[in-house]
Chain A
Amino acid sequence: MLTPLEIIKKKRAEAVSRIISKGYLSTKRVYVGMATCEIAAGSKEVMDVFTEAVSKGLTDVYLSQKGCAGRCNLEPTVEVVEEGKIPVKYGKVNKERALEIVDRHLKNGQVIKEWLI
């Protein structure tokens, strides 16, 4: 019989492969803050922009929600993480900014420096 530790290690491996099958290894991972504070600051709209972009064919992107990192006055925040590059953190993202992040950063690899935290 397996010990609890052995079982949890198996569960972890399964969890990792499920995450990967959802596209975790895409070139870019996008995290949108979705806690009470972020949502109050308008992050649902922002999430919608990214979800729509993905459903309309934006590929090679892994989209995930996340809790609050604690940077209240710059919310909503969005991170774009790419292996081998310094993670990009955007603050005060609204619908318009999200649309531009999709166009300029996610599609064309251009970091929008003015909005960095």
Chain B
Amino acid sequence: MPNTEYIITLCDGPSCIHKGSRTVKDALEEAIAKHNMQDKVKIHLSGCLGMCSKGPIVIVNPGYTIYGSVTEADAAEIIEQHLINGKYVTRLVVDEDHLYNRFFRIFGDNDFFGKQMRITLRNCGIIDPENIDDYLSLRGYEALAKVLTELTPKDVIDEVKTSGLRGRGGGGFPTGVKWDFTANAPGDERYVICNADEGDPGAFMDRSAIEGDPHTILEGMAIAGYAIGSTKGIVYIRAEYPLAIKRLEKAIEDASKNNLLGDNILGSEFSFDIEIRLGAGAFVCGEETALIHSIEGSRGMPRPRPPYPSVKGLFGKPTLINNVETWANIPVIILDGGKWFSSIGTETSKGTKVFAVAGMVKNTGLVEVPMGTTLRNIVYDIGGGIEGGGKFKAIQTGGPSGGCLPEEYLDTKVDYESLAAVGSIMGSGGMIVIDEHSCMVDVAKFFLEFTQDESCGKCTPCREGTKRMLEILTRITQGKGKPGDIEKLERLGTMAQRSSLCGLGQSAPNPVLSTIKNFRQEYEDHIFNKKCVAGVCGALLTYTIIEKCVGCGACKRVCPTNAISGTRKQLHTIDQDACIKCGQCYDTCKFEAITKA
């Protein structure tokens, strides 16, 4: 950003492109060149800005002036009027105050942020989460006030149905339908629960959402309370999130003081309280029926459904459980409308999804994009490509129980159905980029170790099946794999998928089955050729000293089994029988004279 004075954000989403945004871009560039302003103006192409009906959209910063329906001819006028004469092109200004994409005012000119679309995390990173005034100033609690003033409970449920919102906790169940079921289930008392258990290792979007904007969750829950006729909300959050808990507590206290929670909210007939329950952090306690058991004070184990919690939940009463991210969408759906919300995303998956992008990618972090964005967009356009210049090998989506997809699936769109179709899942939104230096058998083993350990032990296929699978994987990585092991893994995996009670057992085999499907050769190499091409599985490696050796003796000194011999300044050798493959010599050698293969 040398001497940039203006940043022009041009929507490069599919709808705007269709309406001619690319020719607008050319025209803008031409006008900028004509006035010799190339050094002062930077054009930034963004992802969908959510204003498709007004496209092509051009935003001029500083000032955050939004221009809509911009044509090629308008482009020159914007440059001349706005940038040179300092006057708005009033006829084109879009004067709308949306909740989404507010963070664009600060972050919009950056590739990592500017290609995202933020609905759930709209306030994260731009407001002080501990100050209710910040939230109120950005139309906070207006959605709640609106439903209390203008909408019947049924209207609210219909709006959520119209939005097409589906649960972000992994299952993807239509949220409006769930609200409807709970509202209509017989019972005198009902509960609203926010699932903030977030048990996936590596996932932290729920924590970030709560820490960055806790009131949004409370507002969403209160709206649901009104819609389904409940007066009691509970946030179930893991005790390992102390800061999130502290901010939630403060938010609840401030909201109560402002009559936004408690009795007769904003002078209406509606009363709603929210309390916090801490979970001890077992993965399975994120499963809704286990979560309910845990709140009731019994052991966190799933039970068969039906009956679903919407009919028979906490203390046997109808209970509405939604994920943190699901809740954060609700105020936007109420204020910007279910219809608008449903214009974002794909046919079956609406809105945006937050992903925690990690692994071998340059820009790691939280990425919120419209459903239907491709994996390639996320890894390369937003993630900045592979860290360290290595080669892309696979992307694991959906947390520890998701599948690993190779390069040919990079153009897969992220939505519930597309990911399922290629053998992975949306899950809660974990995304781990794996490069050529990882061994896929080892990766599968890593994830299975987690799920195996977290199995609650109730059903045999999950408890025993994952244990046996882990044994087989361990043996393969140790070079002791046998013919038939792959088939055995497939059989056990399919059985656990089909006959486990809850989602944990049903999805735990995914990493194994998907790596077998997509990287079978690597399994065969381990079993039949005793080779690990990625050079990860220690037991399958041979360390050899090559010509480059100068005979310094450094390796000889570190070898714990004295397997290396040689005279000073002469080529050394490794006794393969004595070598325990610890790799210390390899790490020590300064002359790259030791190879592992």
Instruction: Select one of B5, B109, B124, B258 contacting A68, CB under 8 A.
Output: B124
List chain B residues, Cβ under 8 A from A35: 207-208, 211-212, 243
**From residue B499, how far is it (CB to closest CB) to chain A in Å?**
38
Q: Are A7 and B364 in contact (CB under 8 A)?
A: no
Interface status of B352 (Cβ within 8 A of chain A): no
For A1-14 the 0/1 string (1 means CB < 8 A from B) is 11111011101100
Contact B126 A68 (CB under 8 A): no
User: In the complex, what distance in Å separates the CA atom of A3 from the CA atom of B270?
Assistant: 13
Considering the complex, give the chain A residue whose CB is closest to the CB of B387. A73
CA distance A8 to B243 in the complex (A): 28
B266 touches A37 (CB 8 A): no
Are the CB atoms of A65 and B142 closer together than 8 Å? no
Contact between B128 and A65 (Cβ–Cβ < 8 Å)? yes
A85 smallest CB distance to B (angstroms): 5
Residues 118-157 of B contacting A (Cβ, < 8 Å) = 121, 123-134, 136-137, 139-142, 144-146, 148-150
A67 touches B124 (CB 8 A): yes
Mark A101-117 against chain B: 1 for CB-CB distance below 8 A, else 0.
00000000000010011
CA distance A53 to B296 in the complex (A): 50
The answer to whether B267 and A86 touch across the interface, beta carbons within 8 angstroms, is: no
Tell whether, in the assembled complex, residue A67 and residue B4 are in contact, meaning their CB atoms are under 8 Å apart.
Answer: no
Contact B139 A69 (CB under 8 A): no
Task: Mark the stretch among B15-23, B100-108, B186-194, B390-398 that contacts chain A.
Answer: B100-108
Are the CB atoms of A67 and B265 closer together than 8 Å? no
Is B366 part of the binding interface, using a Cβ–Cβ cutoff of 8 Å?
Answer: yes
Within 8 A of A (CB), among B80-131: 103, 105-107, 109-110, 112-113, 121, 123-131
A70 B142 Cβ-Cβ under 8 A: no
Partner among A8, A12, A39, A67 whose Cβ is within 8 Å of the Cβ of B127: A67
Specify which of B1, B244, B358 is in contact with A113 (CB 8 Å cutoff). Answer: B1
Choose among B6, B113, B149, B258 the residue that contacts A69 (Cβ–Cβ < 8 A).
Answer: B113
A110 to B112, CA, bound (A): 25
In this assembly, does B367 line the interface, its C-beta being within 8 Å of a C-beta of chain A?
Answer: yes
Chain B residues with CB under 8 A of A37: 204, 208
How far is it, in angstroms, between the C-alpha of A73 and the C-alpha of B362 when the chains are bound?
Answer: 9
A68 to B133, CA, bound (A): 19
Mask: chain A, 36-80; 1 = CB below 8 Å from B; 0 = not: 110100000000000000000000000011111111110000010
Residue B241 at the chain A interface, CB threshold 8 Å: yes
Q: Quick one: given A68-B366, A71-B365, are A31 and B62 in contact (CB under 8 Å)?
A: no
Q: Among the listed B62, B133, B213, which residue makes an inter-chain contact with A85, where contact means beta carbons less than 8 Å apart?
A: B62
| Measured CA separation A97–B134 after assembly (Å) | 27
Interface residues of B, Cβ cutoff 8 Å to A: 1-2, 4-7, 61-63, 103, 105-107, 109-110, 112-113, 121, 123-134, 136-137, 139-142, 144-146, 148-150, 204, 207-208, 211-213, 241, 243-244, 258, 265-268, 358, 363-368
Residues of A within 8 A of B (CB): 1-5, 7-9, 11-12, 15-16, 18-19, 31, 33, 35-37, 39, 64-73, 79, 81, 83-87, 89, 113, 116-117
